[in-house]
Amino acid sequence: MSEISPDEYMAVAASHEIKDGETAFIGTGLPMVAAYLAKATHAPTVNLVFESGIIDPAPLELASGVGDYRLVYGSTKTAGTFYALSLLQRGKIDIGFLGTAEIDRYGNLNSTVIGPYIRPKVRLPGSGGANDIASMAKRFVVICRADRKRFVEKLNYLTTPGFLTGPGAREAAGLPGAGPVRVITDLGILGFDPVTKQMQIEQCFPGITPDRIEQNIGFEISTAPSIRMAVAPTPEQLHLLRTQIDPDGIYVEHP
């Protein structure tokens, strides 16, 4: 198990963000894999909420999306999207996970359009529940690959709020959630300066340098004073990912 793929590093890093006993709002893809990994290891009592209103399922295989009926198996409740989003509004969600087409230095996200809104080059899926999660979950984590087209100086469209324009902006907008805490990429883990609210490099995956990460970010990014190497996946975590959680490599590419 000496070879570890970037997807496996990302899934394990994302799982570490979930604490035992929390309620986590989960989407499709790597967040789903990370949530199952956390539940199988250090966070057995985490309560998983899917946007479709499926609560804490125990599916026999990975679902293709939050509305896939395979996700219903073993669930404690199936209540619909209105119920799931109401948990956010009531302050019941500790952590949410989001993907994005674009992200800026303050953790604001675009999943709506590339180009002008009226005549875009690309029309993207839109917010879904992303704005709700980022606005009202107690904290949220972004999972995406690092490249200069994704990490941009200015978003084509602001779909989902991070720290908006900087310190105090979320509070001024009346957003109850604390905002983004991590951006997990295929090169390392980014966080946010507690004073400036700007993105910074906090952890590098093995073999990756801060310079390599900087080269894949489309804006100037600083390095945290306490930057370190990310913790490598354990043999147990890799075994779970490869043989039980995602053996077919649907969301996590295995080496």
Residues marked active site are found at 51
Antiparallel, parallel or unpaired: β 109-110 and 102-103: antiparallel
3-state helix, strand, coil in the chain (%, to 5): 25, 20, 55
**CA 81/CA 20 separation, integer angstroms:** 24
**CA 6/CA 222 separation, integer angstroms:** 22
CA dist list (Å): 241 to 10, 132, 177, 254: 12, 29, 31, 9
**CA 20/CA 10 separation, integer angstroms:** 19
The single-letter DSSP state of residue 101 is: S
Buried b (16+ CB within 10 A) or exposed e, 22-32: bbbbbbbbbbb
The single-letter DSSP state of residue 218 is: S
The single-letter DSSP state of residue 41 is: T
Whether the CB-CB separation of 107 and 152 falls below 8 Å is answered with no
**CA 99/CA 59 separation, integer angstroms:** 23
